Amino acid sequence: MKQNGAKTDRPLPGSIFDLYKIGAGPSSSHSIGPERAARLFLERVPARPAGIRVTLFGSLAATGRGHLTDQSVRRALAGVPVEFVWDTQTGDLNHPNTMRFDALGPDGAVQDSWTVYSIGGGNLRDDDGPVGDGEPTPYPGGSLTELLAYGDTQGLAFWQLVERTEHDPWTRLESIWEVMEASVRRGLESRENFLPGSLKLARKARQTMTRGRDLASPQRDLALLAAFSLAVAEENAAGGTIVTAPSCGAAGVLPGLLYYYHTVKGIPRRDILEALATAGLFGSVIRANASISGAEVGCQGEIGSACSMAAAAGAQLLGGTLPQIEYAAEIAMEHHLGLTCDPVEGYVQIPCIERNMTACLRAAECAVFALLTDGRHLVSFDDVIDVMYRTGADLQSAYRETARGGLADLWRRRMTSKQGPSAAAVTPVPEDHHSYCD
């Protein structure tokens, strides 16, 4: 388990801009992370290799095809011959998203090698520590409890802690928000009827908005929240440009809620950016003290974290106090505990897209409920993310982005019974595969 307990044991949150990454979907850990790793490896080798062999292990091997891992890596290594090895047999991995890059000479001999882990949200780690992240940011505490206490003592909002700590936060947050807005609009305006892949899953965002905007409230509000979050999730599934919040697979929750408050409720843009800052701080605390990787802790680390971030943002926009904002985020995570990651055929589509929609709706509810209280409660946000991390460690690997259990298994058995054994499109990780947490 990651550091827990006293103040000195808590890692400081990293920059919120290590959390918010602009990139192409459908998966931060399976597409953005590997693409970053491939680009960094090419920069590390002293001379341009004759070829590169990329060996994918664990969850990357099991669901990488559906997550477009190979396409992402090829994009980064354009001009260099690439060979892929999909190793679903090797167990006892340091991380479920392990990959090895081998630089090959003209004779095929390995000239350089690098093993690296895609730890979620497009972030990387190797055996020497984090890779490619910025310098640690000097936030005044590693837990949300400490940050809340500091803000309360100093009379500072959560977003003001970000303002005081990050470099040029408002220019950077403006860029993040522009990409989020654009992803909502593209998803709503898309004329494509179906998403890429063998599932032939229909896009629903445009239809949801068209049918929902003529309803009376509260149904209209629910429909628009659903449409906006679906729009981003569908764009992500189609490989569009989105912002990890905290991951690609959960990228629709936060922008869906913020777009609703901005365009429907008329909340000023500056307030949206401040809410985005607060959401990023909550997400960074989760990332530092637990995990945002579905391959490590299941979907509770992705959708659960996104819901917490959005709930905190929503509570702030509604005028919540620091304790009320913290409470909203805690409720959101608490009721996603145990959520599995079992993508059908390895695509970030079923159940991922609808989960973005339901988490966006839940975040709005959590924010409203928290403001009906004084913010006092018995289980803290820090408590619940610790429990989330331990719960993730207890989940069988079949439920941590290996496409071996749950809905993925149901679908595979259904297709096999209809078409024969060749219908199973995803090679699941074997029973003896074990994923180890940081």
**What are the pLDDT tens digits along the chain (438 aa)?**
344 333 336 888 899 999 999 998 998 889 899 999 999 999 999 889 999 999 999 989 988 887 889 999 999 999 999 999 999 999 889 999 999 999 999 999 999 999 999 988 888 999 998 887 665 689 999 999 999 999 999 999 999 999 999 999 999 999 999 999 999 999 999 999 999 999 999 999 999 999 999 999 999 999 999 999 999 999 999 999 999 999 999 999 999 999 999 999 999 999 999 999 999 999 999 999 999 999 999 999 999 999 999 999 999 999 999 999 999 999 999 999 999 999 999 899 999 999 999 999 999 999 999 999 999 999 999 999 999 999 999 999 999 999 999 999 999 999 999 876 555 444 444 333 332 222
What is the rounded end-to-end Cα distance, in angstroms, of the chain?
A: 7
Q: With beta carbons less than 8 A apart as the criterion, state whether 335 and 300 touch.
A: no
Q: With beta carbons less than 8 A apart as the criterion, state whether 228 and 255 touch.
A: yes
**CA 155: distance to chain centroid?**
31
Same domain, 145 and 285: yes
d(CA 419, CA 426): 15
**Degrees, nearest 5: CA angle 291-402-99:** 70
Residue 292 CB contacts under 8 Å (≥ 6 apart), including other chains? 19, 120, 121, 246, 247, 283, 286, 301, 302, 305
Q: Residue 121 falls within a domain, yes or no?
A: yes
Number of Cβ within a 10 Å radius of residue 304: 32
Q: Residue 426 falls within a domain, yes or no?
A: no
Domain finish residue from 131, 166, 196: 131
Which ranges of 335-431 would DSSP assign to H, the alpha helix? 352-371, 381-394, 406-419
Residue 281 belongs to domain spanning: 7-19+138-399
Same domain, 126 and 267: no
Domain count for the chain: 2
Q: With beta carbons less than 8 A apart as the criterion, state whether 109 and 78 touch.
A: no
Residue closest to 340 by CA, chosen among 304, 310, 365: 304
Output the domain CATH number for residue 87. 3.30.1330.90
Same domain, 184 and 241: yes
d(CA 433, CA 438): 16
**DSSP 8-class letter at 397:** G
**Degrees, nearest 5: CA angle 339-328-118:** 45
Same domain, 91 and 142: no
Q: Tokens standing for 128?
A: 């020497």
pLDDT value at position 422? 53
**CA 364: distance to chain centroid?**
19
Q: Residue 427 falls within a domain, yes or no?
A: no
Same domain, 60 and 112: yes
**DSSP 8-class letter at 22:** E
Same domain, 84 and 178: no
Same domain, 70 and 176: no
Q: Is the dihedral of CA 200, 208, 173, 244 positive or negative?
A: negative
Q: Residue 324 falls within a domain, yes or no?
A: yes
Same domain, 45 and 189: no
Helix H or strand E encompassing 87 = strand 82-87
Q: Residue 184 falls within a domain, yes or no?
A: yes
Domain finish residue from 113, 131, 149: 131
Phi, psi of 117 (to 5 degrees): -120, 135
Same domain, 15 and 150: yes
d(CA 268, CA 251): 22
Which ranges of 290-351 would DSSP assign to H, the alpha helix? 294-297, 303-317, 322-334
Same domain, 47 and 172: no
d(CA 120, CA 124): 8
Q: Packing angle between helix 303-317 and helix 352-371, nearest 10 degrees? A: 40
Same domain, 13 and 84: no
Specify the amino acid at residue 115. T
Q: Tokens standing for 235?
A: 């764009």
How are strands ordered across the β-sheet holding 123-126?
A: 82-87, 51-57, 98-104, 110-120, 123-126, 129-131
Q: With beta carbons less than 8 A apart as the criterion, state whether 104 and 53 touch.
A: yes
pLDDT value at position 29? 87
3 state DSSP class of 282: helix
Same domain, 273 and 389: yes
Q: Residue 240 falls within a domain, yes or no?
A: yes
Residue closest to 114 by CA, chosen among 105, 127, 133: 127
Q: Residue 413 falls within a domain, yes or no?
A: no
pLDDT value at position 135? 59
Domain finish residue from 81, 107, 131: 131
Q: Residue 61 falls within a domain, yes or no?
A: yes
d(CA 42, CA 37): 9
